């Protein structure tokens, strides 16, 4: 420990964050065998220990029209990803790896989940309530719920559920350019391209389709592959990727639209 006068400059490059005691656990985790039962305990401790970081980042984005608890949830997911992907032997410390990862996750949520037109708060909340009820009921039923099941579960009228579902359509849809810029944050999805290739054998417009699929962001390509080549339902995909079914639906709609537009664009005649 040094004198207090240097602490200011020190905090810029290597903030005195209160997470230092957790750092050795990453090395411990990295040394454990894949199957080791102690792994999950360590992982939990690392995630819980860093939770204030996720909350802090979520707070920086609050009051921008997305409910605070959603942001904390998204940031926490980002944190879990960061814990899972961090490699302590690379020489960087966890925070410089985690902060951009978590921020990226929150930004992406904003980009995907912001509302494009003014929707009354009541409807936004209704839509959010339906989203979480839908996730819960899907778990219980083993399939997506119907509007009447949602109404019963939430103690709402069916008309209210219809309204809330429709409100989801007012979510912001990204511009084409934005959607075409690849996300570099889901490295585990790289192999989906090869899989898509095999699955597309025999599709006559394969030649014009392939470059379009390659240009899709990883996550969109993953969703496309899971829905059309592995025949997973939107609810199963939502569960796998960690977003809502409505969000999967919006992304798929947009992806198919882009593919169609792209195919029209370079059709020979």
Partner 1 sequence: MTGSGDERPDEIELRLGAELTNLPIIRSLTSSIAMRADFDLDAIADLKLAVDEACSTLVTRAAPDAVLKCVFKVSKDEIRFVVSIVSTNDAAPSNDSFGWRVLTTLTDHTNSWVEPNGQSGQHLVHIELAKRRADGPA
Give me the residues that bind partner 1 (CB under 8 A), please.
Answer: 134, 141-148, 162, 165-166, 169, 200, 202-206, 209, 227-228, 231, 233-235, 245-246, 248-249, 252-253, 256-257, 259-260, 263-264
Q: How far is the CB of 66 from partner 1 (least distance, A)?
A: 22
Q: How many other β-carbons are positioned within 10 Å of the β-carbon of residue 62? A: 13
Which residue(s) pair with 171 in the sheet?
115
Q: How far is the CB of 235 from partner 1 (least distance, A)?
A: 5
Q: Which is nearer to partner 1, 76 or 127 (CB)?
A: 127
Q: How far is the CB of 110 from partner 1 (least distance, A)?
A: 23
Q: How far is the CB of 215 from partner 1 (least distance, A)?
A: 15
Q: Which is nearer to partner 1, 34 or 201 (CB)?
A: 201
Closest to 101 measured CA to CA, from 27, 184, 182: 184
Q: How far is the CB of 81 from partner 1 (least distance, A)?
A: 26
What is the separation of C-alpha 239 from the centre of its chain, rounded to a whole number of angstroms? 11
- Contact of 47 with 83, CB cutoff 8 Å: yes
| Phi, psi values for residue 65, rounded to 5° | 95, -5
Q: Which is nearer to partner 1, 187 or 201 (CB)?
A: 201
Q: Which is nearer to partner 1, 76 or 235 (CB)?
A: 235
Helix residue ranges per DSSP H, 61-184: 68-85, 94-113, 121-141, 147-154, 158-167, 176-180
Cα torsion angle, 203, 207, 209, 211, sign? positive
Q: How many other β-carbons are positioned within 10 Å of the β-carbon of residue 172? A: 14
Q: Which is nearer to partner 1, 76 or 244 (CB)?
A: 244
Q: Which is nearer to partner 1, 3 or 269 (CB)?
A: 269
- Contact of 65 with 115, CB cutoff 8 Å: yes
Q: Which two tokens stand for residue 262?
A: 């792209």
Q: Which is nearer to partner 1, 58 or 252 (CB)?
A: 252
Q: How far is the CB of 213 from partner 1 (least distance, A)?
A: 9
Structure letter (DSSP) for residue 170:
G
H/E stretch holding 249: helix 245-265
Q: How far is the CB of 205 from partner 1 (least distance, A)?
A: 5
């Amino acid at each position: 420990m040094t004198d207090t006068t240097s602490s200011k400059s020190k905090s810029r490059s290597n903030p005195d964050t209160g997470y230092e005691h957790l750092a050795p656990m990453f090395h411990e985790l990295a040394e454990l065998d894949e199957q080791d039962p102690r792994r999950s305990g360590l992982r939990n401790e690392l995630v819980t220990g860093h939770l204030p970081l996720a909350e802090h980042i979520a707070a920086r984005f609050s009051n921008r029209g997305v409910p605070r608890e959603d942001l904390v949830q998204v940031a926490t997911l980002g944190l879990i990803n960061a814990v899972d992907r961090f490699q302590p032997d690379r020489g960087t410390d966890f925070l410089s790896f985690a902060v951009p990862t978590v921020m990226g996750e929150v930004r992406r949520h904003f980009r995907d989940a912001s509302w494009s037109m003014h929707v009354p708060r009541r409807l936004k909340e209704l839509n959010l309530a339906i989203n979480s009820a839908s996730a819960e009921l899907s778990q219980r039923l083993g399939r997506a719920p119907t509007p009447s099941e949602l109404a019963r579960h939430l103690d709402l009228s069916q008309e209210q559920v219809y309204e809330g579902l429709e409100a989801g359509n007012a979510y912001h849809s990204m511009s084409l350019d934005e959607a075409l810029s690849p996300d570099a944050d889901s490295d585990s999805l790289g192999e989906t391209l090869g899989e898509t290739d095999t699955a597309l054998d025999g599709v006559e417009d394969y030649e014009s389709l392939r470059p379009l699929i390659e240009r899709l962001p990883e996550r969109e390509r993953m969703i496309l592959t899971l829905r059309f080549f592995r025949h997973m339902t939107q609810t199963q995909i939502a569960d796998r990727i960690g977003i809502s079914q409505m969000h999967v639906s919006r992304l798929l709609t947009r992806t198919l639209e882009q593919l169609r537009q792209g195919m029209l664009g370079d059709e020979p005649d």
